[in-house]
Amino acid sequence: MMDWRVGVWTAVGLTYATWSAAEATWMARRRGSGGKPLVSERRSTLIMVGAGVLGEVGAVALAWRAPTVPLAADRTRAAAAALPAVWAGLALRWWAVRTLGTHFRATIDIREDQPVVRTGPYRHVRHPSYTGGLLAVAGAAAVLNDAPAWLVLTGSTVAALLYRIHTEDAILIHHLGPDYTDYAATTPRLIPKVW
């Protein structure tokens, strides 16, 4: 019989491989589809990628040494506890991407036929794919089993997402007008019934 620790680390490895493959597939499928955008903003995408890389490097560097403030009795227990959050975040992100369909982009692109999507997870928050991504990153950071490392990775993600949400909302309000303004007035940004 397989030791439960091996099962946890196998699940962690498969989760990260699946996550990476899904992200790469979504980006590749959407690149160049749907014609030329009316507006395309890429700076916030670069900031998100940069913050992610810096956060990961910083978190791993902190966790590489002996954890100063462990989150669980050992790293395997932290990973086992964190996996459901990662899976829930990935499922929410997948649901959001599927709901947007051909309107999903890695960059902020406005197309001529751009609707205000209010179905699926967009009934509850304006940016559910970011909510899912943040939940997955927070869970992934917990696998390191080090509170300072968790704060660095989760904090860098939150900072980048705040910039991205501010930028995206401003562009959508400007180009989609009252329809998006009305939607924004009644739908929280990231956390249902909170913000």
Enumerate the H helices of 65-127 as residue ranges: 75-100
Report the alpha-carbon distance of residue 50 to residue 15 in Å, rounded: 22
Entry pTM: 0.87
| Residue spans per domain, the chain | 4-30+38-186
pLDDT tens over the chain, length 195 residues: 456 666 666 776 777 677 677 777 766 665 555 567 888 899 999 999 899 889 988 988 888 776 678 788 788 888 888 999 999 999 999 999 999 988 888 889 898 888 999 999 999 999 999 999 999 999 988 988 889 999 999 999 999 999 999 999 999 999 999 999 999 999 999 999 999
Residue type, 160: A
Distance CA 76, CA 4 (A): 9
Quote the radius of gyration of the chain (alpha carbons, Å).
Answer: 18
Considering the domain 4-30+38-186, what is its CATH architecture? Up-down Bundle (1.20)
